[in-house]
Amino acid sequence: MKTLRDIGEDALIARLLTPFPPSTLCVGPGDDCAVVDDGHGPWRLLKTDAIVEGIHFLREAPPEKVGWKACARVISDFAAMGGSAREIMITLACPPDLEIHWVEGLYQGIARCLAAHEATLAGGETTSVPDGGPIMISVAGTGQVDRRHCVLRSGGQPGDVIAVTGTLGGSIHGKHLDFQPRCAEGALLAQAGASAMMDLSDGIAKDLPRLAQASHCQFEWIPEALPVTPGCTPDQALGDGEDYELLFAISPARWHALVLKWPEELAPIHAVGRLLEGPFCESAIQGGWEHFRT
């Protein structure tokens, strides 16, 4: 009998979507967020994301940072569309023997993250898991994006420059718990005409092929151009995951204009490759994180 370990996350998702009718959304499953057009005002963004003890954080981690991370991951996905967060809902599943002060710390981190991004707590749920089970925090959020400046994964064109914000690798040493979602950067990139964008959650070795595939392009890239976090190896920059930086494509002309006006106070941007003509083919890079495979 086949298990999830045998097929991995991407193939699993493709199989799971089979019984559903074609989506009536502007953007359905497969991008960083779902996009809903109510016919007026900004487009609505929808996103859900979960973190699990033992996978995404350890019990010893400061609970404030775990709460921050849980919310910041969802807000990072809104940033990856060029948008921002509105309402956030929290589902907390934890064993009955968990200390109250841990949960209070968690919610203080959640409150801090929401305040920093002008988002509202819209509800949530607490439920128990059997004693010894892991703590799970599932965050669902709504966001919004200017309908003229919503950037998908799929809009990349052959010839576009591929670039990233910030530096990559080594997130496990701390950044994964207190990263800043790149909302200001994402909004500016959207206004500047980025053709495709996503956030880097599983490592650029895994995520760049996803962006290229969604854009029906091949790609080339220059390993030496990767902005590596100080103290990390290039391999770590490729595959550690949890960078929560933005990966984007943009035409060369727009890239050159962007570099000239990029604000100093934002995370720096670096070109790392280029989209090419031709059908996407798999396994162009080895590395990166895929759930169930590890």
263 is a site residue for a second copy (CB under 8 A)? no
Neighbouring CB atoms inside 10 A of 129's CB total: 16
- Our CB check for a second copy shows the closer of 84 and 167 to be 84
Does 151 participate in binding a second copy (rule CB under 8 A)? Answer: no
CA-based angle 200:172:156, to the nearest 5? 10
Who contacts 105 (Cβ-Cβ below 8 Å, separation ≥6)?
62, 63, 64, 67
**Closer residue to a second copy in complex, CB, 97/265:** 97
Q: Residue 69 carries which side chain, given as an amino acid letter?
A: K
260 binds a second copy (CB under 8 A): no
Residues 2-41 that bind a second copy (CB under 8 A): 2-7, 9, 12-13, 15-17, 19-21, 23-25, 28-30, 33-34, 36, 38, 40-41
> Could you say whether residue 96 binds a second copy (CB under 8 A)?
yes
Q: In this chain, which stretch among 84-92, 177-185, 219-227, 256-264 interacts with a second copy, using CB under 8 A?
A: 84-92
* Distance of alpha carbon 252 from alpha carbon 242, whole angstroms: 28
Q: What angle do CA 283, 284, 287 make, to 5 degrees?
A: 70
Binders in 106-135 for a second copy, by CB under 8 A: 107-108, 111-112, 114-115, 120-130, 133-134
Least distance from C-beta 165 to a second copy, angstroms? Answer: 22
